[in-house]
Chains A and B, each alone.
Chain A
Amino acid sequence: MSFPSILMTALSSLGANKLRTGLALLGIVIGVAAVISTMSVGRGAQQQIVEDIESLGANLIFVYPSQTPSGVVGTITLQDAYALIDPGNAPAVAQVAPEITAFAQIVAGREGTSNQVRGVTPEYASVRNYEVTSGSFISARHVRNRSDVAVLGAQIARDLYGHRDPVGQPVRIDGRQFTVIGIMKSRGGDNPFGDYEVMAPITTVYFRIESQRTVQGEISVQSVSVQTKEGAPPDDAIRQVTSVLRLRHRIAEGDSDDFIVNSLEETIQTVQDAQNTFVIFLGTIAGISLLVGGIGIMNIMMVSVTERTREIGIRKAMGAKWRDILYQFVSEATLLSLGGGLVGAMAGVGLSTVLDGWNLGDQPLRTVVTLDITAIAVTVAAAIGLFFGIYPAARAANLHPIEALRYE
């Protein structure tokens, strides 16, 4: 039996019972629509997070102290951080922003909150893409003098001072009086955490709030954000930073680093990988409904084979071979699920479009429909129809012609 004849026969059989065809289709339609829309929500969340990370600033490398496999705990000092700007040793590095964080009680008037206080240097603002809307950012002099000054994120400033201008106002951090010298520009939806930042000179946080010192009396920092020069490959910068730090830490050839160097790209990659797993997990859950739809198709095909037993007998008497009957029913099941898949794809894309920008609490929902997800969902639907069509079709093909002809 030729391919066009198989197709025409299948279409005419499906057309003969439109209600049943429609109902069988519905299971697949819902399954495919569910897969596409859940995965588009997952992809949307993924893209959101990646953009949040990217908004930290371009060309970033992060350096953290770490423990070597032999158990030596590394430290990175402020001097280590500034050594990285040396154009002779690390020409790919543009700027460095070392930082430490501490938890502290923040009080202004009667308002108070427990919050992270970030000890930073003046470079922090430009490296991390922060802008001051009123007042000024922490200066080199503030760092040198261990000044009791603070810069507040937009939201925490509003929480503490309401509509008053906080610049010049006092704020108590762990009981110590600071002066607010600047307010950061709101980072809006893409990084709400930035709006709760409290920043003070790194020296002040280190000596006045954390009250720590290294053996040498140097400040040890928790992380260093390194901005690479425009156009410099991040790998070059990572290599240079690593060699400078190894030299300064006197790490012998062959010994492990006592620090970690990560590029932002690597971080994004890690997050993206984790998110991919999540998106696939979501899709698999939704895929179960596709499976149920497939079982629905199998059910319908079983009924159809029973109902058309006599037709099968007639076709066999006319010379239809085993595979002719098999193809006829398999193609019906596949067409059914492929049709359902295409309608489901349209429904899924439509649903995703409607959901995009839907307001759920703080952040608008983001959905991203991609061609690969849509194509995979439709293909899987067709494959499911093929799979669940084979058993009923084989039953039809195995019928004995005489018994099939006698069937009432």
Chain B
Amino acid sequence: MIKLEDVVKTYHMGQFEVRALDGVSLSIRTGEMVAVMGPSGSGKSTLMNLIGCLDVPTSGRYFLDDDEIETLGGNGLAEIRHRKVGFVFQTHNLLPRLTAQDNVELPLLYGGGRRRKARAREALERVGLGDRTTHRPTELSGGQQQRVGIARALVKNPSLLLADEPTGNLDSRSSEDIISILADLNANEGMTVIIVTHERAVAARAGRIVSMIDGAVVSDEDADEWENTP
């Protein structure tokens, strides 16, 4: 369960203070699939970073399950990220030196655990890349790279999967594949999935759509209601 209460996040850009989030309150239940939409600069990536425990709010409170995130230090955040959060990035952020298998194994290095190789292979099989384990990112297509990125995010079985414009660099066919995988993980494994996107077609696959402008949530609707708004 995710609960943000009046969260403010400000950044300093030189002399200017930028209010990336301006009092956001939001609750997301475990097992929901939520799309976050909004123009660039609306604060959706900042929101994702906070929900993903990469950063803490300037003010306000954030609860992830039972943990009060804004009270944690760097290592506490790293621990939560490791246990609960899987990230899928727009630019997939794979390490070019490593094979698909090694990239997927990466998160497991930081938590110990057994059967790392086998678990990495299973994750690749779940995204349909069981035959590409020894390929390096440059030897894979954009869609395949993003699927490796998803495999890396889900290898730890996180309760929360965050995807920041996962289809931003992909053609529509690959986008469809990626969204299907994410929707499938949400439906069959009960993972909470939050997707930041520009694309209505992508957002339409979510059960709930949150729209943001200028660091504030302007609408928060079920998919059915949203379909009917222009």
Contact = CB atoms under 8 A, between A and B. Distances in A.
Nearest to B49: A402
B74 interface: yes
B143 interface: no
- The 10 A-B pairs of least Cβ separation, nearest first, read A319-B82, A318-B107, A321-B78, A319-B110, A319-B81, A401-B54, A5-B109, A314-B93, A320-B110, A16-B97
Contact of A322 (B55, B78, B85, B89): B78
Interface residues of B, number: 26
A249 interface: no
Nearest to A401: B54
Given A16-B97, A322-B75, A405-B93, A317 B112 contact: no
B174 to A, nearest CB: 21
B52 interface: yes
A13 B83 CA distance: 26
- Most chain B beta-carbon contacts within 10 A, residue among A1, A315, A317, A400: A317
Nearest to A323: B75
Given A316-B78, A319-B78, A319-B111, 10 more contacts: A2-B112, A313-B93, A318-B152, A319-B81, A320-B109, A322-B75, A401-B54, A402-B49, A402-B55, A405-B93
A310 interface: yes
Interface string B72-114: 0011001101110101010001010110000000110111100
Given A322-B75, A405-B93, A317 B109 contact: no
A313 B106 CA distance: 13
A311 interface: yes
A186 interface: no
Contacts of A310: 93
Contacts of A405: 54, 89, 93
Nearest to A319: B82
Given A311-B95, A401-B54, A405-B93, A318 B106 contact: yes
Contact of A1 (B83, B98, B109): B109
B159 to A, nearest CB: 14
Interface of A: 1-2, 5, 9, 12-13, 16, 310-311, 313-322, 324, 400-402, 405
Nearest to A316: B78
Nearest to A324: B110
Nearest to B153: A318
A121 to B, nearest CB: 82
Nearest to A315: B106
Contacts of A400: 55
Contact of B75 (A9, A16, A314, A321): A321
Contacts of B81: 316-319
Contacts of B97: 12-13, 16
30 contacts: A2-B109, A2-B112, A5-B109, A9-B109, A12-B97, A12-B98, A311-B95, A315-B106, A315-B110, A316-B54, A316-B78, A316-B81, A317-B54, A317-B81, A318-B81, A318-B82, A318-B87, A318-B152, A319-B78, A319-B82, A319-B111, A321-B74, A324-B110, A400-B55, A401-B55, A402-B49, A402-B54, A405-B54, A405-B89, A405-B93
A320 B55 CA distance: 14
Contacts of A320: 78, 109-110
Nearest to B111: A319
Contact of A314 (B82, B83, B95): B95
Contacts of B98: 12
